[in-house]
Amino acid sequence: MPANPVVAVAGATGVVGMEMLAILAERAFPASRVKALASKRSAGRRLPFGNGELVVEAMTTDSFTDVDIAFFAIGSATTQTIAHEVVGAGTVIIDNSSAFRMEKTVPLVVPEVNPQAVRQHSGIIANPNCSTIQMVVALAALSRKAAIKRVVVSTYQAASGAGAAAMAELYEQTREFLADEPLTIEHFAHRIAFNAIPQIDVFMEDGSTKEEWKMVVETKKILGDEDIEVFANCVRIPVLRSHSEMVNVEFSEPMDTEIALTAFHEAPGIVVMDDPAEKLYPMPGLVIGSDEVYVGRIRRDPTVKWGLNFWCVADQLRKGAALNAVQIAELLL
């Protein structure tokens, strides 16, 4: 990998793609050139980048012939169609879709948790699911103090996890609801305004949704432990940005709140916000635009021998997607 690689962002006009461009500029990623790629209908559009701007190019497989690192913020179907041809041309793909996450030969990487996995790539590195990323950052910190036996997580996921159009629908439905007008429902299974939807992605044979399945299998792969039991409940709520999670962990050796606080304070990428007397705890509205995973409401679970419960919040467009991808690219360098 050259010290100053040519970088492309595929899907640059989407909400995650634009966040990737912003973070590349913020972190002064040492690219010799950055290309913004999108569909033909977006070609010619100008996007802000640092102190300047980039002109969007129509994406084809030829767009990657001179590219060293390509961030893919496009759908799984398109990714699967072009990925191997792009890799064959010598480009390393950091893929934000679910297309290759569970392939044995594709590393699934969260830099604070398993940075060594980057070395195992064969041209494709997968960015995990947004809700998985923030949880495993916290779980990995705890696992350094005591072995984890079981995890039960309930998520409260923002509309932005479904894209810019979904965010716009939340805005519009809120206006329609307050004006007592018929609601426009297109991107969610039900209305999202003033509601909570216990379904993210499609249902599977066992009654779980695909989002819940992702959290189970991805957590095991990232932590490198197939014996950890994981159960997930994923809910979409009418918040624009940043995911929240209530995480219950059972350990196979001693764990208490003091050990957990030490683990969280020592871990990279985690901020402890936990002062019940002052009503201080993380909330999605407070962490927008931040890079860290915030934890609070840390308390013992007395229903099991060594149990702990905590609340976890992060900006899923940054740490849950774009930032994590850029951090992976920094590891490559």
Q: Which of 307, 325, 323 is nearest to 142 (CA)?
A: 307
Q: Which of 121, 130, 234, 312 is catalytic?
A: 130
User: Where do runs of H (alpha helix) occur along the chain?
Assistant: 15-26, 76-88, 130-143, 164-178, 210-223, 257-266, 284-287, 323-332
Q: In degrees rounded to 5, what are phi and psi of residue 109?
A: -120, 135
130 is catalytic: yes
Q: Which of 248, 230, 255, 247 is nearest to 306 (CA)?
A: 255
243 is catalytic: yes
Element holding 248 (H helix, E strand):
strand 243-251
CB 153 within 8 A of CB 245: yes
Q: Which of 121, 234, 243, 312 is catalytic?
A: 243
Question: How does DSSP classify residue 255?
Answer: -
Please give the pLDDT value at position 227: 97
Neighbours of 132 (CB within 10 A): 28
Residue type, 70: A
d(CA 173, CA 159): 12
Pairing of strands 307-314, 293-300: antiparallel
Query: Among all chains, which residue has been given the structure tokens 């993380």?
Result: 282
CB 13 within 8 A of CB 56: yes
Pairing of strands 69-72, 92-95: parallel
Please give the pLDDT value at position 248: 98
pLDDT tens, the chain, 333 aa long: 999 999 999 999 999 999 999 999 999 999 999 999 999 999 999 999 999 999 999 999 999 999 999 999 999 999 999 999 999 999 999 999 999 999 999 999 999 999 999 999 999 999 999 999 999 999 999 999 999 999 999 999 999 999 999 999 999 999 999 999 999 999 999 999 999 999 999 999 999 999 999 999 999 999 999 999 999 999 999 999 999 999 999 999 999 999 999 999 999 999 999 999 999 999 999 999 999 999 999 999 999 999 999 999 999 999 999 999 999 999 999
Please give the pLDDT value at position 308: 98
Q: What does the CA dihedral 269, 289, 186, 216 come to, rounded to 10 degrees?
A: 0
User: Where do runs of H (alpha helix) occur along 203-242?
Assistant: 210-223
Please give the pLDDT value at position 314: 98
d(CA 158, CA 139): 21
d(CA 55, CA 43): 8
Structural domain boundaries in the chain: 6-128+321-332, 132-316
Q: Which of 119, 103, 101 is nearest to 111 (CA)?
A: 119
The SS3 assignment for 145 reads coil
- pTM, rounded to two decimals: 0.96
Q: With respect to CATH, is domain 132-316 assigned 3.40.190.10?
A: no
CB 86 within 8 A of CB 51: no
237 contact partners, CB below 8 Å, separation of at least 6? 156, 157, 158, 196, 197
Q: Which fold has domain 6-128+321-332?
A: Rossmann fold (3.40.50)
d(CA 163, CA 168): 9
Please give the pLDDT value at position 43: 95
Query: Among all chains, which residue has been given the structure tokens 């999202």?
Result: 192
